[in-house]
């Protein structure tokens, strides 16, 4: 790790990184490490390692003279941190860099479920995950609210896996089923129940999920009449297939989710209040990506996935891209982040044979962030060319690969750069 670039490297690596001075006071820290410490980045800076580690382990860290791995007892757990002493030109130690890989992170070990890795390095999201796992063994119905792409189905899967129920997890997207067929899809039907029905009949999702979990996604899109039937099933724990007079008992754990404001839908007479209260025995809220603290940890994970697919070392986000990723609102949340990074990485690699992602490769949904980021990348490129040429327009234009006339026009676009060139010429 290059000590003069700790922030840039810390954001690119999927590691917890802490930099201290020679006395053990924190000078730099990334989001992952701050999360493990249970503090914000701002509140962590300037504090001593003994606020989180046992004093004897801090003594071991500060007495280290070469790179080593220490088993350090934190106040909550035991972890394996790599400690790298940094020496100045006089060979005196003036910094310590502590790193904790994802494999050694105590939180991530428990986030490996059913072969799928989940990223929960945001304190708000992780609290939701902890609550979901804690209530999983109860029979309470759960309502998950959150915007599209925030991970509602992931939470439903976590609840099912932690519930120890013996049946399967069955997912139904209530918004993707025609209104006329949703009851047949959920409760099943007898053979010949209606025109076009399967000749053998159909069990329905409730019976398929017997002894397991039924995840009703986009519950806010369910037709009003079907809500009445669903409420009765939840209260009686029995279903009656269409075309049958026989009710069948079912043992199903219900998890529902919606990106709509159901309270508002109730006020607009679009959703039944009694069904809402029945579904909402426990409510879980997932924060949108713009409110999460692990944007670049998620990004690093997705980029690592892509680099593995393409068999390249790694993809890197330019500073300008990272700046605008922070300000972008991410209306599609984590799903949009994954899609945007994949598109950018593919364009970078296949069109330019590069692995550094610049703003021109990013295709934000709104287009606003993309346009603004492109302007800033262009401005930074021109500024560097002018500085390196000491204000010589011809030389600067050649280094960028554009004509002198074009560069003059660009300088009129960026008054700050025009003044910079004039200042350099005066010197």
| pLDDT the model gives residue 421 | 81
Rounded to an integer, what distance in angstroms lies between the CA atom of residue 398 and that of residue 211? 71
The CA distances from residue 241 to 42, 187, 227, 279, in Å, are 58, 5, 16, 22
149 shares its domain with 274: yes
pLDDT of residue 76 exceeding 70, the answer is: no
pLDDT tens digits along 100-135:
755 445 444 334 333 345 667 788 888 898 899 899
Question: How do 238-239 and 248-249 pair as beta strands?
Answer: antiparallel
| CATH assignment at residue 15 | 3.30.450.20
The better pLDDT of the pair 30, 207 is held by 207
| pLDDT the model gives residue 106 | 47
149 shares its domain with 278: yes
39 shares its domain with 172: no
Residue 1 lies in a domain: no
The better pLDDT of the pair 18, 40 is held by 18
17 shares its domain with 90: yes
pLDDT of residue 381 exceeding 90, the answer is: no
Chosen domain end from 88, 105, 122: 105
148 shares its domain with 84: no
pTM of the model: 0.62
Chosen domain end from 246, 265, 285: 285
pLDDT tens digits along 250-288:
999 999 999 999 999 999 999 999 999 999 999 999 999
253 shares its domain with 144: yes
Q: What share of the chain is helix, strand, coil (3-state, %, to 5)?
A: 50, 20, 35
What is 195-251 written as a DSSP string? TT--TT-B--HHHHTTTSEEEEETGGGS-HHHHHHHHHHHHH-EE--BT-S--EE--
Cβ neighbours for 354, distance < 8 A, ≥ 6 positions apart: 348
122 shares its domain with 94: no
| pLDDT the model gives residue 13 | 47
| CATH assignment at residue 176 | 3.40.50.300
Chosen domain end from 270, 285, 300: 285
314 shares its domain with 398: yes
146 shares its domain with 268: yes
Q: Confirm if 113 and 227 have CB atoms less than 8 A apart.
A: no
126 shares its domain with 269: yes
**Stretch 393-410: mean pLDDT, rounded?**
84
Residue 181 lies in a domain: yes
Q: What is the mean pLDDT of the chain?
A: 82
pLDDT tens digits along 29-49:
887 787 778 777 888 899 999
Give the count of domains, the chain.
3
Least confident of 60-74, 136-150, 310-324, 339-353: 60-74
315 shares its domain with 413: yes
Residue-number span of the structural domain to which 205 is assigned: 110-285
417 shares its domain with 300: yes
The CA distances from residue 217 to 73, 133, 171, 273, 325, in Å, are 42, 19, 7, 18, 29
């Amino acid at each position: 790790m290059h000590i003069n670039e700790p922030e840039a490297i810390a954001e690119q690596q999927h590691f917890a990184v802490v930099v201290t001075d020679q006395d053990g006071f924190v000078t730099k820290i990334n989001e992952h490490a701050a999360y493990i410490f249970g503090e914000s980045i701002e509140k962590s800076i300037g504090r001593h390692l003994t606020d989180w580690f046992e004093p004897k382990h801090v003594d071991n860290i500060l007495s280290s003279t070469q790179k080593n791995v220490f088993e350090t007892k934190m106040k909550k757990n035991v972890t394996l941190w790599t400690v790298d002493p940094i020496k100045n030109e006089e060979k005196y130690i003036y910094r310590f860099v502590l790193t904790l890989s994802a494999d050694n992170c105590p939180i991530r070990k428990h986030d490996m479920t059913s072969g799928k890795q989940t990223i929960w390095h945001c304190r708000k999201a992780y609290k939701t995950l902890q609550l979901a796992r804690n209530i999983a063994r109860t029979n309470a119905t759960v309502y998950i609210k959150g915007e599209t792409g925030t991970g509602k189905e992931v939470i439903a899967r976590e609840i099912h896996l932690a519930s120890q129920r013996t049946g399967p997890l069955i997912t139904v997207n209530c918004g993707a089923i025609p209104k006329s067929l949703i009851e047949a899809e959920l409760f099943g039907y007898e053979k010949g129940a209606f025109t076009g029905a399967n000749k053998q009949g159909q069990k329905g999702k409730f019976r398929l999920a017997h002894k397991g979990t039924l995840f009703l996604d986009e519950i806010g899109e369910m037709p009003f009449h079907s809500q009445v039937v669903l409420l009765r099933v939840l209260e009686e724990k029995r279903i009656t297939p269409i075309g049958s007079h026989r009710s069948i008992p079912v043992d199903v754990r219900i998890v529902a989710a919606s990106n709509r404001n159901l309270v508002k839908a109730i006020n607009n007479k679009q959703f039944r209040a009694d069904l809402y209260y029945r579904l909402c025995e426990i409510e879980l809220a997932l924060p949108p990506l713009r409110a999460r603290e692990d944007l670049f940890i998620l990004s690093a994970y997705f980029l690592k996935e892509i680099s593995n697919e393409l068999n390249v070392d790694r993809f890197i986000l330019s500073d300008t891209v990272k700046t605008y990723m922070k300000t972008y609102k991410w209306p599609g949340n984590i799903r949009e982040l994954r899609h945007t990074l994949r598109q950018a990485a593919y364009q970078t690699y296949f069109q330019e044979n590069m692995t550094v992602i610049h703003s021109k490769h990013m295709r934000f949904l709104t287009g606003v962030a993309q346009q603004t980021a492109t302007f800033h990348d262009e401005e930074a490129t021109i500024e560097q060319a002018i500085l390196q040429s000491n204000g010589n327009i011809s030389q600067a234009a050649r280094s960028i690969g554009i004509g002198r006339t074009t560069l003059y026009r660009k300088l009129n676009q960026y008054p700050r750069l025009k003044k910079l060139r004039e200042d350099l010429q005066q010197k």
